[in-house]
Amino acid sequence: MDEYLSGLTTEEINEKTQTIDECTTEQMLRMMNEQDALVPAAVGAEIPQIMKAVDILHGVLRNGGRMFYVGAGSSGRLGVLDASECPPTFGIDPLMVQGHIAGGDGALRTAVEGFEDNAEEGVALIERCGVTDKDAVIGITASGSAQFVIACLKKAKEIGAATIGVVNNKNSKLVAVTDVCIAPVVGPEVIMGSTRLKAGTAQKLVLNMLTTGTMVKLGKTYNNLMVDMKASNIKLYDRSVRIIRIATGVDEATAIAHLEKASMNCKLAIMMIKTGMEVKEAEEALTQCEGSLKRAIRTYVQVV
């Protein structure tokens, strides 16, 4: 037996759920819900580390770098999910935030758990992605023992990239290969070792914080409005119009007119309404303020 694995919190038996197979449906679900309720506090305890990671990621992306999620199994799927939501939500290039899973895209639908032990593929992935010292690599593994993830982080660190770990055990193998290690410990799972449960929930919350916090710092929101989103379907077009109206107080017709004039760029439309600028002038003002709508509006108001 692997001594490292046998000592992991995520591999322990949960004393409070040993009778789950004897429960009524309601009892079983309440048992799971009670365990899930422990997750937010575990994540909250890691905010100092999450804060360090967000500041690192902000610096990386602000200076033209990229961030890469790497993981295996459930952890890898969560990384791909978080990365794939960034372009429509924040209007970024899909290459800026990438998610990669051991075993490739086929592993998103079909479990190929053996790939998590393939260290060579971890190294090869970092090389294929062309990771440089301007980038950041975030390794996600509940146990902290996935060789694919460890190899990715080691190789990234050798290159000089920033490295961040997301794990659900303290003093894991990720500590030695990361600049920041985020480790929300949620305790033993409802079903022993099934880390898609509490551990996966904790990872999802952490990844939400990493990308959302970084994007807010990059000026991808105005107040709490996603002004950089892409109006790529009917729902998002309608949301863009509502965002413009909320941000500026104009009527629907005015919001639509400015959105169309701004080529469906919600942020640009708000800038034009708030300042009276035309398209080109508003674009230049936003560029000068690194895309921060609030800063651009305040700068223009101060100038005039």
Query: What average pLDDT does range 159-167 have in this prediction?
Result: 98
pLDDT of residue 1: 46
Q: How confident is the model at residue 302 (pLDDT cuts 50, 70, 90)?
A: low
Residue type for 276, please? G
pLDDT of residue 106: 86
210-245 tens-digit pLDDT: 999 999 999 999 999 999 987 778 999 999 999 999
98-113 tens-digit pLDDT: 999 999 888 888 877 6
For residues 226 and 136, give the distance between their C-alpha atoms in angstroms, rounded to a whole number. Answer: 24
For residues 112 and 110, give the distance between their C-alpha atoms in angstroms, rounded to a whole number. Answer: 6
Is residue 85 part of the annotated active site? The answer reads yes
55-65 tens-digit pLDDT: 999 999 999 99
pLDDT of residue 108: 87
- Percentage above 70 pLDDT, the chain: 97
Whether the predicted pLDDT of 21 surpasses 60 = yes
Catalytic residue among 12, 85, 281, 283: 85
User: Which is nearest to 100 in space by CA: 134, 132, 129?
Assistant: 129
Q: Share the mean pLDDT of the chain.
A: 94
For residues 64 and 136, give the distance between their C-alpha atoms in angstroms, rounded to a whole number. Answer: 11
For residues 215 and 236, give the distance between their C-alpha atoms in angstroms, rounded to a whole number. Answer: 19
- Percentage above 90 pLDDT, the chain: 89
252-295 tens-digit pLDDT: 999 999 999 999 999 999 999 999 999 999 999 999 999 999 99
pLDDT of residue 85: 95
Q: How confident is the model at residue 199 (pLDDT cuts 50, 70, 90)?
A: very high
Query: What average pLDDT does range 79-83 have in this prediction?
Result: 98
DSSP 111-128: --GGGGG-HHHHHHHHHH
CB-side exposure of 298: number of CA atoms within 13 Å?
A: 7
Its pTM stands at 0.93
CB–CB of 229/236 below 8 Å? yes
* Residues in Cβ contact with 280 at an 8 Å cutoff, skipping those fewer than 6 apart: none
Whether the predicted pLDDT of 304 surpasses 50 = no
Catalytic residue among 11, 46, 116, 189: 116
Is residue 116 part of the annotated active site? The answer reads yes
pLDDT of residue 113: 66
pLDDT of residue 301: 72
Give the end-to-end CA distance of the chain in Å, rounded to a whole number. Answer: 72
